[in-house]
Amino acid sequence: MSPRPRVLMVPPTYYGIEYEINPWMDRRQPADTAAAQRQWDGLRSVLVDRLGAEVCLAEPQRGCPDMVFTANAGIVLGDQAVLSRFRHAERQGEEPHFAAWFAAHGYNVQRLPDEIAFEGEGDALFVGDTLLAGYLYRSEVRGHQRVGELLGVRTLSLELTDPRFYHLDTCFCPLDGQTAAYFPGAFDEYARRVLAAEVPLLVAVVEEEAVRFACNAVVLGRHVALNTGCPNLEADLRTLGFTPHATPLDEFLKAGGSAKCLTLHLDRQLVRCLDGGVPEVP
Ligand code: ARG
């Protein structure tokens, strides 16, 4: 693993609200291209200068306005990359570009059967060595088990219930192996029970910050990059020993995205081997 954790981003050159595939998108509220570029540059600086990340870039593609949301490219563990299969045709054109990027950067690209929708790290997040995976609006529950088998990890599925929080990373944010922030209203009763059983410390986010995509935060070590306008979560993070770094991302909220959606973790490793509990060499 490189000393600086690497994340994948795509510049917002062709970003825009060109179709509507979630409740946030409204073609009558177009993105301001210059502001989007400034906000994306601002996030990138926070990631590099404050969170200590190395940002890898993939080439933006004309006709792929949501390609900035690299969390949906797939999910990476070690040298394996499980490629997304987008639910909506509007985003399926991104798949070959992300597949080519993963292959060119030494990943073993794994694919799910065509008929199973899976939207990558947008819907699948590690808490320790367990993959928590969201379904209903985008990814399908039967895809989660395939992803778990491909990556060799324990996988638990969580049903999402609020179309505003259509990806797991819009309402759930693992902070470390024991702690996560979440918006309880986005989960069904059983999913809330699974979360309570799996995550020793759950920090609830209030609705007015959940709709600012407070949970859609990038966590690297004890540093957290997130959208502005989430003072309660920022205070909770400080109490827990994390340092929040707020940066404006409203142009991306118009497409239903924020900090986490704009990044994909490239260096995810298991904390422990499943058999003997022997830590992997980082
Ligand atoms: N407009 C994009 C979509 O609806 C936004 C994706 C946000 N990504 C995320 N990981 N939550 O697919």
Delineate the domains of the chain, giving CATH numbers in brackets.
Answer: 6-265 (3.75.10.10)
Helix (H, G, I), strand (E, B) or coil at 186: helix
CA distance readout (Å), 27 to 18, 31, 91, 179, 250: 6, 9, 16, 37, 15
Contact (Cβ atoms closer than 8 angstroms) between residue 126 and residue 152: no
Ligand 1 neighbour 31 (Cβ under 6 A): no
pLDDT in tens, the chain (282 residues): 458 999 999 999 999 999 999 999 999 999 999 999 999 999 999 999 999 999 999 999 999 999 999 999 999 999 999 999 999 999 999 999 999 999 999 999 999 999 999 999 999 999 999 999 999 999 999 999 999 999 999 999 999 999 999 999 999 999 999 999 999 999 999 999 999 999 999 999 999 999 999 999 999 999 999 999 999 999 999 999 999 999 999 999 999 999 999 999 999 999 864 444 444 433
Ligand 1 neighbour 139 (Cβ under 6 A): no
**Probe residue for ligand 1, chosen from 7, 66, 138 as the CB with the greatest number of ligand atoms within 8 Å:** 66
What pLDDT score was predicted for residue 101? Answer: 98
Ligand 1 neighbour 70 (Cβ under 6 A): no
Element (H, E) at 100: helix 95-104
Ligand 1 neighbour 66 (Cβ under 6 A): yes
CA distance readout (Å), 140 to 87, 123, 145, 181: 9, 10, 10, 23
Cα 278 to middle of ligand 1, angstroms: 36
What pLDDT score was predicted for residue 166? Answer: 98
Distance, CA of 263 to CA of 77 (rounded, Å): 15
Atom of ligand 1 nearest to the CA of 170: 11
